[in-house]
Structure 1
Amino acid sequence: MNSAQPPSKPRIVEDILTTRLPQDTIALWWLGQAGFVLRDTRAVIYLDPFLSDRPDRLVPPPFAAEIAPPADLVLCTHEHLDHFDLPTLRALAQTSPHARFVVPLPIVEQVTTPGISAERVVGVQPDEELDLGGITLFPVPAMHGLKTPPAVYDFGFVQHGNGRDNSGPYRYLGYVIEMAGVRVYHAGDTVVYDGLVEHLRRLNVDIALLPINGRSYFREQLNIVGNLDEREAADLAAAAGVRLLVPIHYDMFAANQGRPATLVDYVRAHHPSISCYIPAHGRRFTYMKGDLR
């Protein structure tokens, strides 16, 4: 009598688990939308993992959160469901018992209330430099919004009465992550604001993961807060001295897509010194410090 064989793991899971890397190289896997796995020889990081199999997804999850490769860090940029997927976070907390969860300080309780231990959750703010087990993290403000219409793009400061306090804590973040000597900027959801270019230039970013879905009045009427468009992403990367631009946040929902081909054409015409990489879902790409110089 033959016993049933367990189902094989998706190729991406095996790839994340088994890929061998040189000391000065990182690997990235796109999970769709703003989700990524980053890896070097020592650590695995999840960025905005969105693995719930919702019916409105255009792209299926690359794997179920319950069989996700173990994580060392899980980073979320803000609380929109495609960046802050609680079922995924709860599953990762179970499958990665040593993982820490990094989120903007104002939403820490949204992680701990569903049952993730407070000792595992790190609330962060801009202008902090954190050493997290050999990974250096630099939180960066993001300008976004939670509710429309009318659209209000800000930093998510606490509202008092009919106005907003012009000080923190910041509710929306991006992150610059340094691992294996490579600095990766994950923008989360953002538009360009005064000071962003200078902030990124100071951090000497190698790779920028930037949204390109743009924004429009009509989508804002559907409660869809927008982001950079293709040209803005390219212009930001060029102004910030980024070496490699990777577009994200354009593939998941029918009403909120972007055009990576437009980005490539614009970069070629206006910023030929920048390299552009269009990621494929679940396919590994690697980067070594000093590439593209």
Structure 2
Amino acid sequence: MSRLKSWLQDRWPLPVYRPDPRQPHHQADGYRNLFPFRQPSLADVLRWEWQRSRMPAVKHRLERIPRQAPELAALNANRDRPSLTWVAHATSFIQLCGKNILIDPIWSQRASPFQWAGPERQLPPPMALQELPAIDLVLITHNHYDHLDFNTVRRLARQPAGCPQFAAPLGVGATLRRAGVPASRIQELDWWQCCRLGGVEAELTPAHHWSKRWMMGDENRALWGGFAVRGDGLQFWYPGDTGYQDQLFQLIGERIGAVDLALLPIGAYEPRWFLRPQHVNPEEAVRILLDTGGRAAWAVHWGSFILTDEPLDRPQDDLAAALAQWNISPEVFQLPAMGETRWF
């Protein structure tokens, strides 16, 4: 029993919640969003599961999901040229100011507390974690399992070059420490706060979402968000998991300024009655680009895990339709392949 308790505590440590009464998004019982938000309830989850049980089988045409061999030799040799690589799902690899940065790294086979149950990866990552150069900085947007992968964090904490620096929202540090990341290597951030490493600056931006990792007792007691990453005269931005809220994204655009490349989520959005408050669909991702005034975007957060009801290959079709609806060129909002690198 003690071994089971220790295993559970490793993966689900309860965050220590210390609200700051000066901050309006800090409430007595947990964090809240800047704008009205409908929290998913147990009744919602049960209704969704009942509806899913009555749906016909969904066909996922995995051969339609673009993949390419990563430029591993160039990435490992690179010391001074900015680059951004979409790995898969929400995981991206960034090189800025000579630093190697990972956002929401997940290399596990399942986005789950267990590796024998839960959403299973449908396509393998385009590279192994150890094939990338040593990581200097890891950015975690929130504590859901497809963004904070305990096993991958533990591997990064033990990389031969030494544990990287981690930046994460308030309350997420408890899980990172349990995974073996020293407290001295963790910086927990509130919205609009920054961490710095060399010439790289990462600012935590608000998102329209929620947090939960434990079965009970930790709902919204760890913060969530996205990251604006700056260096070498460039700014990249990933909003994290988020529902659409036009005032929020207009505010972010005003606060962080010009974004050279936004990594915008386009997957995990059906059924809309359940997921609209917490996950954008492709059309809403296009609206985020317009609201923030971003110069260009890459589509991410799709193609790996069956988390929701839409076919895994459908987001690319819905994105194409949304771009046509808003008269935006596919060259502005691109659909990268897993493993693809954009050089700057």
TM-score range, shorter chain: 0.7 to 0.9
Which aligned runs of 4 or more in structure 1 are off by greater than 4 angstroms?
217-221
Q: Map 1:1-293; keep pairs closer than 5 Å.
A: 12-19=71-78, 21-22=80-81, 26-54=82-110, 56-95=120-159, 96-146=161-211, 157-158=220-221, 171-193=223-245, 194-204=247-257, 205-217=259-271, 220=274, 226-256=278-308, 257=312, 258-272=314-328, 275-287=332-344
Could you tell me how far apart the structure 1 residues matched to 2:84 and 2:203 are? 19
Q: Higher strand fraction: Structure 1 or Structure 2?
A: 1
TM-score, normalised via structure 1 length: 0.78
User: What's the CA shift for 1:114?
Assistant: 2.6
User: What's the CA shift for 1:120?
Assistant: 0.6
2:168–2:189 contact (8 Å) kept in structure 1? yes
2:249–2:291 contact (8 Å) kept in structure 1? no
Bigger RCO of structures 1 and 2 (CA < 8 A, at least 6 apart): 2
Letter in 1 for 2:284: E
CA distance 1:64–1:41, change in 2 (3 Å): same
Q: Once superposed, what is the RMSD of the aligned Cα atoms?
A: 2.8
Structure 1 gap ranges (5+): 1-9, 148-155, 159-169, 288-293
3-state SS, counterpart of residue 172 of structure 2: helix
TM-score, normalised via structure 2 length: 0.67
1:180-224 alpha-carbon deviations (Å, 9 max, x no partner): 111111111111233322222331222111111253448959xx9
Could you tell me how far apart the structure 1 residues matched to 2:272 and 2:322 are? 25
**Aligned residue-pair number:** 255
Could you tell me how far apart the structure 2 residues matched to 1:271 and 1:20 are? 38
> Which has the larger displacement, 84-93 or 30-39?
84-93
Could you tell me how far apart the structure 1 residues matched to 2:201 and 2:262 are? 16
CA distance 1:21–1:76, change in 2 (3 Å): same
1:203-247 alpha-carbon deviations (Å, 9 max, x no partner): 1222111111253448959xx985111110101101211111111
Letter in 2 for 1:276: F
Could you tell me how far apart the structure 1 residues matched to 2:328 and 2:277 are? 30
1:166 alignment counterpart: none
2:151–2:179 contact (8 Å) kept in structure 1? no
Could you tell me how far apart the structure 1 residues matched to 2:209 and 2:157 are? 27
Could you tell me how far apart the structure 1 residues matched to 2:138 and 2:307 are? 28
